[in-house]
Amino acid sequence: MDKFIIEGGIPLKGEVIPSGNKNAALPILSACLLTDQPIILHNVPDILDVRTMRALLESLGVRFETLDTHTWKVEAKEICPGELDPELCRNIRASILLAGPMLARAGYIILPPPGGDVIGRRRVDTHILALQKLGAEVEYNRTFSFRCDGLTGADILLDEASVTATENAIMASVLAKGTTILRNAASEPHVQELCHFLNGLGAKIKNISSNTLEIEGVSSLSGGEFTIGPDYLEVVSFIGAAAITNGEIVIHDAGPHYLDMVKLVFNRLGVDWDNKANDIYVPSRQCLCVEPDLDNAIPEISVMPWPAFPTDLMSIAIVVATQSKGTTLFHDWMYPSRMFFTDKLVSMGAQIVLCDPHRCIVQGPTQLLADDITGPDIRAGMALLLAALSADGKSTIRNIRQIDRGYENIDIKLAELGASIERIA
C-alpha cells in the first residue's frame, strides 16, 4: 500500500480550493437512478468512495461519460436490478443509499451488507423501518432483499436522525404516491444539497434544512445539471492544519455559511478565522488557548446532530486540542470506536486519557514527535496527517487508502501550501 512521508514543523502558507463534498456526491449519484433522463454533475470529487459508487451504479446499467475530471454525465435510461457486488459494497458504507432509489424506480434490489469505516456498530435499522413505512418488504439472510409493488407516502418518524436513512427515505418518497412527512430528519449540508438537486429535477420537497420534511410524490423526474458544493470536512481540516503549524492560508469557495457551529467550537480551542464572501482566511499566530467554562471548569466538546458539532470533525478537533493550552473533554456518543486512534497520538507524545470508548481528555500543548503510524479510518487518518504536519521530525503514515477514500489529492494540495509530504508506492 502507498504511504505518506511527512517532515513536520513547516507552516502552511498559500491558497487552496477544497474538492466537492463526498457526502453530497454519493447520495446525489444514487439519486440519478430516479430518472431515465441525462444528468450532468459538476465538481464531483475524484476519490475512491465516489469511484466505488460509480462502479456500483454501472453494474446496475447506469451509463457514465466523463466530460472532465470533475464533470460527469450520468444516464440511468435502462437499469438492471439485481444483486450488487459484495466486494464493492464491503468497501463503502454508502452502498445502502441504493436501496431507496432502486425501490422507487424498479421495485427490487438485493444489497449485501454495507462496509466502510470501522468506528463501531453502524445500524441500518432506521433505513429498513423508513422504507417499510413506504410499503417496502425487506428480508435479511446475509444479504438484504428489498422489494415493493409501488411505494405510498406516509408519516415517518425516524428513530434516530440518521443522515443516510434520511437520504434513503427522501429518494424513495419523491416518486411515491401521495405525501410523505419525514420527521426527526437529518439536516446536514449534504442532505440539503440532495433535496435541492432533486427539486431541480422536478421533485417537491419542502422545509429543506429543517428536521421535518414534507415530500409530495411526483410521477417522474426530469434530467438536469447540478454543481456539488465544497466539502466542509476538508475545509475544516485545512483550517486545523494551518492553525497547528502556525500557518496562514486562504481557502477559496469554502462555503463558510455552513461552519457557524464549527467556528464556535474551534474558538474554544483558540482557533479563529475570517469569512470573506465565500472564502475563509486563516491568519497565523493563533491563540491556541482553551477557553474554560464558568468557574474555570474543564469544557466539554460533544458531537450532536446538525447544526451542532458533527462527529466527523471530532478527530480533527482532538489533534488541534493537543496544541492548545489547557484541558478539554471530548465526547462522541455516536460511535464506540471513534476515539481509538488516540493511542497513536499518545505514541507521538500527546497527553490524552481515554476515559472510555466514547470520551477522552486532552491536555495541551505538547510537542508532538514524529512516528510511524497507521490510519484506521478516513477521519482519523486525516487527523493523524495533521498531527504529522505539526510533529518534530519525519513521520510515516500507512494505510493512506483510507484518506484517499475521502480526500482528493490531499498530498498535492498540502505540498502546494508548502508542506513537506511525499507519497511512496
Q: What is the pLDDT of residues 253-279, one digit of tens each?
A: 999 999 999 999 999 999 999 999 999
**Which of 227, 257, 283 finishes a domain?**
227
Question: Is 41 in the same domain as 88?
Answer: yes
- Measured in residues, the chain has a length of 425
Q: Name the burial class of residue 304, with classes exposed (0-12), middle (13-18) and buried (19+) by CB atoms within 10 angstroms of its CB.
A: middle
> What is the distance between the alpha carbons of residues 236 and 250, in angstroms, rounded to a whole number?
12
194-225 residue pLDDT tens: 999 999 999 999 999 999 999 999 999 999 99
Please tell me the distance from the alpha carbon of residue 254 to that of residue 46, in angstroms, as a whole number.
18
Q: Where are the alpha helices (DSSP H) in 9-162?
A: 22-31, 48-59, 86-90, 99-105, 125-133
Say how many Å lie between the first and final Cα of the chain, rounded: 6
Indicate if 236 and 215 belong to the same structural domain: no
Per-residue pLDDT of the chain (425 residues; tens, 9 = 90+): 799 999 999 999 999 999 999 999 999 999 999 999 999 999 999 999 999 999 999 999 999 999 999 999 999 999 988 778 888 888 887 899 999 999 999 999 998 887 644 434 456 889 999 999 999 999 988 888 899 999 999 999 999 999 999 999 999 999 999 999 999 999 999 999 999 999 999 999 999 999 999 999 999 999 999 999 999 999 999 999 999 999 999 999 999 999 999 999 999 999 999 999 999 999 999 999 999 999 999 999 999 999 999 999 999 999 999 999 999 999 999 888 889 999 999 999 999 999 999 999 999 999 999 999 998 889 999 999 999 999 999 999 999 999 999 999 999 999 999 999 999 98
What is the model's pLDDT at position 115? Answer: 66
> What is the arrangement of strands in the sheet containing 274-276, beginning at the earlier edge strand?
13-16, 248-251, 279-282, 274-276
* Among 227, 255, 280, residue at a domain's last position: 227
Of 64, 71, 146, 143, the closest CA to residue 101 belongs to 146
Task: Answer yes or no: do 274 and 358 share one domain.
Answer: yes
The pLDDT value given to residue 122: 53
**Angle (nearest 5°) at CA 46 between 43 and 49:** 115
CATH classification of the domain holding 249: 3.65.10.10
Q: Which of 418, 420, 412 is nearest to 395 (CA)?
A: 420
Domain with 418 in it: 3-19+230-424
Residues 242, 137 within the same domain: no
Residues 221 and 333 in one domain: no
The answer on 153 and 8 residing in a single domain is: no
* Rounded Cα distance, 377 and 394, in Å: 22
Q: Is residue 218 domain-shared with residue 351, that is, in the same domain?
A: no
Q: Are residues 12 and 52 in the same domain?
A: no
Q: How far apart are CA 140 and CA 143, in angstroms?
A: 6
Alpha carbon 377 to chain centroid, angstroms: 12
Residues 234 and 216 grouped into a single domain: no
Cα separation, 235 vs 52, whole angstroms: 23
- C-alpha–C-alpha distance, residues 128 and 168, integer Å: 10
Helix, strand or coil, per DSSP, at residue 400: coil
Q: Choose the final residue of a domain: 193, 227, 261.
A: 227
Question: In terms of DSSP bridges, do strands 372-374 and 394-398 run parallel, antiparallel, or are they unpaired?
Answer: parallel
202 C-beta neighbours (distance < 10 Å), count: 17
Q: Which of 260, 305, 279, 236 is nearest to 21 (CA)?
A: 236
Verify cis geometry, omega within 30 degrees of 0, for the bond prior to 27.
Answer: no
Same domain, 347 and 254: yes
From 46, 85, 117, 293, the catalytic residue: 117
Q: Is the pTM of this model over 0.75?
A: yes
Q: Are residues 189 and 239 located together in one domain of the fold?
A: no
117 is catalytic: yes
Query: Domain total for the chain?
Result: 2
User: Looking at the structure, do residues 153 and 247 belong to the same domain, yes or no?
Assistant: no
Interaxial angle between packed helices 314-321 and 260-268, expressed in degrees from 0 to 180 and rounded to the nearest 10: 30
